[in-house]
Amino acid sequence: EVQLVESGGGLVQPGRSLKLSCAASGFTFSDYYMAWVRQAPTKGLEWVASISYDGGSTYYRDSVKGRFTISRDNAKSSLYLQMDSLRSEDTATYYCTEGMSWGQGVMVTVSS
């Protein structure tokens, strides 16, 4: 059974950093592109970033370019999202996904 379990969320002040992790199991992690998708409270889904099989290619939405870094460790079947210079508009539930399966999400709140 495919499982994606996010962790690392919480309350953080504007301008500070946070690193999200996603532990994957039940499939060959290195065979899949992975992505982070977020959902602000009461809002729709918003793609954040994607990473290729070996991490050689990364893609970001404009609003997070230069602030967020997606990475992966295939040996650990883990996906990461380093979030720097956080803003109030980054407040959302962040989901880890390979497209078909999604984690339960982790909440990030950016507030002073």
Residues 29-48 that bind another protein (CB under 8 A): 35, 37, 44-47
Q: How far is CA 28 from CA 4, 49, 62, in A?
A: 12, 20, 30
Provide, rounded to whole angstroms, the least separation between the CB of residue 94 and another protein: 11
Provide, rounded to whole angstroms, the least separation between the CB of residue 63 and another protein: 10
What end-to-end distance do the CA atoms of the chain give, in Å? 40
Residues 67-106 that bind another protein (CB under 8 A): 95, 97, 99-105
Number of DSSP helices (H) and strands (E) in the chain, helices first: 0, 10
Q: Which stretch binds another protein (CB under 8 A): 20-28, 57-65, 66-74, 76-84?
A: 57-65
Provide the binding-site residues for another protein, judged by CB under 8 A.
35, 37, 44-47, 50, 59-62, 95, 97, 99-105
